[in-house]
Structure 1
């Protein structure tokens, strides 16, 4: 795990220097001290960015950012936020073999064509993990990644505190309360084996690892 660059904000928040270097390939610190993470389209053109300041995190809407991904990657982590993924990696650094890990950060629009293109580089034996928020959107994204593994193209629609799921292959529509919906319940309802592992902060009321870091950092401030 080579160190290439560190950032003042992340150092201030207690992120290990080696972890910072791991996520620095498409990042730079601007004149105000904010960290800017670039996102790209299928042709490699820059289309959006995630911006992390001391107190706020603005996630990217479009594009994808791919780090350390190859056929030799044995573990893949997928997220929609550099900030949360960095905080997660810092928290679990003793349990992750970073030399064998690849990282995919997708914009909020969740362009499946970009993820599909990235997944073509990944071995079928690689373990897929997701690091999305505990919100209903984050849980739907967990399911979309599982769909990608199984080459499914399900549609998800939110209404009246329910998730409506449309499976075009089986011409089947089902629904579940947003309060109980998760990748686990989704796989059970669809009679498929869950192969994707999800990581969520366990602290009550905390949606993301970035938010968890913010709370811890403020307690120390």
Structure 2
């Protein structure tokens, strides 16, 4: 643990503070080779609340793993997870806001061994993929629209909280 900085997620009555870090929070009760579903999100609290709403992903016979990557997930984190959980279908549990929708798209590109660059320009999300620039209005930006424009078919499954909540934590605490 030499030269390591430990980042912690902080919970309070005002919400959750999610760290920006290179580390991760990982939970499974199975051997990595036997895990068939890998759930990736920004926040441990969001993943725990997701599990509250969807306990079928925790109970056998589902062999699942859950991981929080912090606010800015990296390709290196994902590549390590993909090499560890070689038989797992990828699911994302990022928030419903633009940061979560962009994270879905990043994971989709990493899933196929590529990368894309994302930015905000006014009320549009821009992304650069395969030497082309694309623009999507923020209010309709989604993994589905990203995949249609870019031609990517990643096979990942996204899970979002029901409106009006942006996070599963907000839904669980009923604070929107």
TM (norm. structure 2) is: 0.88
What is the CA deviation profile of residues 127-154 of structure 1, one whole-angstrom value per residue up to 9, with x for unaligned ones?
Answer: 1111011101100001111111101110
Give 1:103's match in structure 2, choosing from 57, 66, 69.
Answer: 66
Secondary structure of the residue aligned to 2:96 is coil
Can you give the 5+ residue segments of structure 2 that lack an aligned partner in the other structure? none
Give 1:56's match in structure 2, choosing from 6, 11, 15.
Answer: 15
Secondary structure of the residue aligned to 2:35 is coil
Check if 1:192 corresponds to 2:149. no
Can you give the 5+ residue segments of structure 1 that lack an aligned partner in the other structure? 1-40, 217-221
Distance in 2 of aligned mates of 1:115 and 1:159 = 27
Aligned to 2:108: 146
Q: Is the 8 A contact 1:131 1:199 kept in 2?
A: yes
Give 1:91's match in structure 2, choosing from 50, 53, 63.
Answer: 53
Aligned to 1:166: 128
Q: Cα–Cα, structure 1 residues 44 and 110, in superposed 2: closer, same or farther, change >3 Å?
A: farther
What is the CA deviation profile of residues 49-73 of structure 1, one whole-angstrom value per residue up to 9, with x for unaligned ones?
Answer: 1022344321121121222271211
TM (norm. structure 1) is: 0.71
User: Within 5 A, what are the aligned runs for 1:8-157?
Assistant: 45-62=4-21, 63-68=23-28, 70-97=32-59, 100-123=63-86, 125-157=87-119
What is the CA deviation profile of residues 106-162 of structure 1, one whole-angstrom value per residue up to 9, with x for unaligned ones?
Answer: 011222212211221122x42111101110110000111111110111000111111
Aligned to 1:16: none
Distance in 1 of aligned mates of 2:83 and 2:100 = 23
Distance in 2 of aligned mates of 1:176 and 1:147 = 17
- RMSD of aligned residue pairs (Cα, Å): 2.3
More RCO (CA 8 Å, sep 6+): 2
Work out which of the two has the higher radius of gyration on C-alpha atoms and give 1 or 2.
1
Secondary structure of the residue aligned to 1:49 is coil
Q: Is the 8 A contact 1:66 1:118 kept in 2?
A: no
Size of the aligned set, in residue pairs, is 172
